[in-house]
């Protein structure tokens, strides 16, 4: 039965997603392309924004997850975000840390975000972020923080971002 549903959806989804002026103007100069099932793009199935947004979810384009220095300062000042630094503890001792950030080395992020609240607090000295909390990951230069963002997204965290400049950008801007 599930296979039948997938086959049915595979026949309908292209019709729904191709029914967009944006796609037509981007990929077909004339704007005319035959749709599956014999429909032409001039025979609109439904042009409501809700339909397009539903199809958009299947695309690979996602909203920006990058946070600038100024945005991170505001988030920290407002106390509305959990900042997680994914560097190793020795890096924080040697280079410094963003005030208020919780240190969870990258190799422990996946496990740490699945701990219970009490165990998380004992091990990392902060509150376990909820799946609806805004989390900003940071590291030295933005590479490991992007990896941590991907891990958290896979675990179901919705509001995840990263600071691509990392500690290097923070230290440079914080001195000014």
Three-state DSSP class for residue 161: strand
Predicted local distance difference test score (pLDDT) of residue 39: 45
111-164 pLDDT, tens digit per residue, is 999 999 999 999 999 899 998 999 999 999 889 999 999 999 999 999 999 999
- State the catalytic residue, choosing from 6, 17, 55, 139: 139
- What residues are paired with 138 via a beta bridge? 85
Predicted local distance difference test score (pLDDT) of residue 115: 94
Predicted local distance difference test score (pLDDT) of residue 79: 84
DSSP symbol at 144: H
- 174 band by pLDDT with thresholds 50, 70 and 90: confident
R_g of the chain computed on alpha carbons: 22
The answer to whether 106 and 86 have CB atoms below 8 angstroms apart is: yes
Cα–Cα distance measured from residue 29 to residue 44, given in angstroms and rounded to the nearest whole number: 18
CA-to-CA separations, 20 to 24, 40, 62, 79, 135, in angstroms, rounded: 6, 12, 19, 41, 34
Which residue, 91, 108, 94, is CA-closest to 148?
Answer: 108
Cα–Cα distance measured from residue 60 to residue 58, given in angstroms and rounded to the nearest whole number: 7
Cα–Cα distance measured from residue 85 to residue 81, given in angstroms and rounded to the nearest whole number: 13
Domain boundaries, the chain: 2-56, 69-175
Predicted local distance difference test score (pLDDT) of residue 62: 47
Predicted local distance difference test score (pLDDT) of residue 1: 52
pTM score above 0.85: no
Active-site residue 139, yes or no?
yes
Q: What is the mean pLDDT of the chain?
A: 75
Percent of the chain with pLDDT over 70: 63
CA-to-CA separations, 119 to 31, 123, 133, 134, in angstroms, rounded: 58, 6, 18, 21
29-39 pLDDT, tens digit per residue, is 444 444 445 54
In this structure, CATH architecture of domain 69-175? 3-Layer(aba) Sandwich (3.40)
């Amino acid at each position: 039965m599930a296979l039948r549903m997938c086959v049915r959806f595979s026949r309908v989804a292209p019709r729904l997603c191709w029914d967009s002026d944006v796609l037509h103007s981007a990929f077909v100069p004339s704007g005319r392309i035959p749709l599956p099932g014999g429909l032409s793009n001039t025979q609109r199935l439904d042009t409501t924004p809700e339909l397009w947004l539903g199809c958009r979810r299947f695309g690979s384009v996602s909203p920006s997850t990058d946070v600038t220095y100024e945005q991170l300062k505001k988030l920290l000042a407002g106390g509305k975000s959990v900042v997680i630094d994914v560097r190793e503890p020795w890096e924080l001792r040697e280079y410094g840390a963003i005030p208020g950030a919780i240190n969870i080395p990258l190799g422990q992020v996946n496990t740490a975000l699945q701990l219970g609240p009490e165990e998380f607090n004992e091990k990392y000295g902060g509150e376990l972020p909820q799946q609806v909390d805004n989390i900003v990951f940071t590291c030295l230069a933005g590479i490991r923080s992007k990896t941590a963002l991907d891990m958290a997204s896979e675990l179901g965290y919705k509001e995840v971002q990263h600071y691509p400049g990392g500690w290097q950008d923070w230290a440079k801007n914080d001195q000014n």
